[in-house]
Structure 1
Amino acid sequence: MLVLKCSMKLQMLEKMLRWSFPESLKVYGAVMNINRGNPFRNEVVVDSWPDFKAVITRPQKEVDGCGFFIFVSKRSTACGVKSLACCLEQPALLGQQRRSWHRTWTIPSWHFLPNTLSVLSLRMDPKLKLACLDISHASLLSKTWSRGGNPRSQKYLANLICCFPSVCVLDDNGYPLSWSLTDQFSTMIHGYTLPEHRRKGYSRLVATTLAKKLHSCGFPAQG
């Protein structure tokens, strides 16, 4: 397994992964963010270069992170996939020791195409407005997240807010009523609307606005 550190190779990989949409979307999103400043300090591992059959994105050794995404090329044989799976059960082979990993295989997910994004004409209360989330909103997001409610989740959400695009509906006091974030894999996540404000079209408005924002930055919108 090889860790890709060369910026030119990483840019080449980004272009090559586009040919394998939608299966490669999450790994592609991670590589895009690595090529654009790498705010979450991830790295890329391939089985070979340039004729790779598997791509793994993961946190760097010194980063306190968990979870990684894997893209397996259609050119991989069943034997090759089995061999890769065996490697993943031995973190030392991936250069990661004494770490508990959450393994997630990339599967096709929905994504917007630029010419299919509809323009929503939602009549909102004039007191409400569309805006980006602020780091001060991280506490609320953590409380409403099923895995949240602890300092680590709040820090994670605050980092997402600071590093990646987000959209929310704010009331006249600047309090979020509905929102969605983007993570380090360029995935639209944490979509949520407060119970008392549901069935008003806010979620659709937020999701569509965020998808358009991602496309304007060159990212595929996925979730």
Structure 2
Amino acid sequence: MKILGEEERRAAEQVLRHYLPKSSKVYGYLFGMNRNKPSTLQVVVDTWPDFKSIIFRPDLKNERVSDYTKKVTLFCTDAQVLKRMIAEENAIDWTTYFLLGGLDITLAPMVKEVAASRGVNMRHFVLVHLLTLSDPQDLPDSHSSCCIVDETGQPVSWMLLYDYCALGILYTKPEHRGKGYAKALIASMSKKLHAQGYPVYCFIEEDNDTSLRLFKNMGFTEDPSYRAIWFEFNF
């Protein structure tokens, strides 16, 4: 197991790009880190340079790490290699509360097995679709804000970005729905992220049919065989 330094993280970014969109979450984290976006994460791989598993975990040497919920995310091309990292090599600290986010659902049985062997309680947090947009230039023109306000300056519709640069929480006040505000915000933020070099993608909860239709109608696509899941441990 190896902790990646600055130059190695840059090389890993190029490797992960070949596995988009399934690597989108870890790629987004690494893309930001490699462009000096503040982060409290540490990046570890099974071997270098030909890694098959990459894990982002809290960097305990970072003085700001305790200010945030403990989060772990990962990507692998070999489930057995990942299992060895988390079961035998202590790549994850199983002794404290943490969220494991954006996990390929096909890896869930293995993670459950390892958690059970360690006597760690866990529960399903959320199951999501992964939708991506290859070319946001086809989206309608819009303003550059991530928040739309009314004539009095009060927010009526807004979008947040996750720290791994996915399109995040989108909300429009009920009395302002049906006015096209959500589409305008999606178009705006998609074009902004694309211009900065990020892959444009979002996670949509499994039962959120309204948002799923909205994003698909705007040109976002998904691999129907893929789902991502969040787990909570030691709650």
Q: 1:100 to 1:214 in 2, by over 3 A?
A: same
Q: 1:16 to 1:184 in 2, by over 3 A?
A: same
TM-score with structure 2 length normalisation? 0.66
Please tell me the residue identity of whatever aligns with 1:193.
T
CA contact (8 A) 1:46 1:52 kept: yes
What secondary structure does 2:130 align onto?
coil
Q: Does 1:207 align with 2:181?
A: no
Q: 1:96 to 1:83 in 2, by over 3 A?
A: closer
Could you tell which deviates more after superposition, 53-62 or 95-104?
95-104
Higher RCO (C-alpha under 8 Å, 6+ residues apart): 2
**Is the helix fraction higher in 1 or 2?**
1
How many aligned residue pairs are there?
173
- Counterpart of 1:27 in structure 2 is 26
- Counterpart of 1:54 in structure 2 is 53
Percent identical among aligned pairs is: 31
User: Can you give the 5+ residue segments of structure 1 that lack an aligned partner in the other structure?
Assistant: 122-129, 133-166
Please tell me the residue identity of whatever aligns with 2:10.
Q
CA contact (8 A) 1:131 1:170 kept: no
Q: 1:204 to 1:37 in 2, by over 3 A?
A: same
Q: 1:115 to 1:210 in 2, by over 3 A?
A: closer
- Counterpart of 1:4 in structure 2 is 4
1:113, CA displacement in angstroms? 1.2
Distance 1:54 1:116 in 2: 34
- Counterpart of 1:70 in structure 2 is 74
The CA RMSD measured in Å over matched residues stands at 2.3
Q: Does 1:181 align with 2:160?
A: yes
1:105, CA displacement in angstroms? 4.1
- Counterpart of 1:139 in structure 2 is none
1:1-223 to 2 correspondences below 5 Å: 1-5=1-5, 7-61=6-60, 62=62, 63-64=65-66, 65=68, 66-73=70-77, 76=78, 78-87=79-88, 93-94=90-91, 96=93, 98-107=95-104, 109-114=130-135, 117-120=138-141, 130=143, 132=145, 167-223=146-202
What secondary structure does 1:44 align onto?
strand
User: Can you give the 5+ residue segments of structure 2 that lack an aligned partner in the other structure?
Assistant: 105-128, 203-235
